[in-house]
Amino acid sequence: MGMTAGIGHNGGPELQGTGWRRHCWQAAREALLPTLPIEVLRNRVRRAQELGLDYKTYASVRAASGHDVVAFLFSSNALRATPKVAELPADRLDRLRAMANCGRLAIAVAPLAPSDLLQAGGGLIDAAHPAPRPFGSFSEAREAMGTARGDYHRDGVVLVGAAPFEAEWCAAGRLAYYLPAERLFTA
C-alpha cells in the first residue's frame, strides 16, 4: 500500500518497506562499532589465546561486559566432575592447564563437595565453593556467586556452565558472561 507523492515530496526512499529500515539499521550499527587500531586488535587476539578462547568468543565477552576476562568460574557440571571420579577428564585438565593470567574458580553442585572438586582439579583450580541449589531463590544464587568469585570484580568473571539452570546464576551474580561448556572445551 504505497502513498501518493504529494506537494513537497522529494522522491526519496519508500519508508513503508523493509529495505530502507535495513539500510538505516546497518548504517547505525557500523557507526557504533569502533575501528580498533591494529595493535589493540593484536593484543586482544593474544589475550584470547592466553585464555584459551577463540577471538569471536573473547570479543563477545568484551562487548557484553565492557571488561577483560579476569577469571573463569566453572560449575562442576561443566568440568564433568562427579563424587565417584578422582580426577577431571583429560580434556578439562588440558584446558585448565592452557589458561594463563586468569583465575580458575569452581562451584560444586551437590552432592559434590568443593574439596572433592579441588582434589579432582589436580591443583589447577584456585578456589572452590558450593553452588546454589538448582532452581533455588535468586537471592541465594546472588550470594553464592558473590562468595564464589571472591575478590575478582564481577564484570570480569565468566561463568562456564553445562546445565540449563546455571545461566540464571550468571544473571543473579551479575557476572560478565555465561559461556556454555561445549563452547569452551571444544574450541
Compute the half-sphere exposure of residue 17: CA atoms within 13 Å on the CB side of its CA.
8
Task: Work out whether the CA dihedral 161, 162, 163, 164 comes out positive or negative.
Answer: positive
Q: Is 136 domain-assigned?
A: yes
Q: Is 14 domain-assigned?
A: no
What are the grid coordinates assigned to 57, written together? 568468543
Q: Is 23 domain-assigned?
A: no
Q: How far apart, in Å, are the Cα atoms of 179 and each of 16, 92, 158, 164, 175? A: 39, 15, 7, 12, 11
CATH number at residue 102: 3.40.50.1000
pLDDT digits (tens, 9 = 90+) for 120-137: 999 999 999 999 999 899
pLDDT at 12 over 70: no
Work out how many domains the chain is built from and give that number.
Answer: 1
pLDDT digits (tens, 9 = 90+) for 62-103: 988 989 999 999 999 999 999 888 899 999 999 999 999 999
Q: Which domain holds residue 94?
A: 38-185
Q: pTM above the 0.75 mark? A: yes
CA-based nearest residue to 136, from 174, 84, 87, 172:
172
pLDDT digits (tens, 9 = 90+) for 135-159: 899 999 999 999 999 999 999 999 9
Contact 74, 104 (CB under 8 A): yes
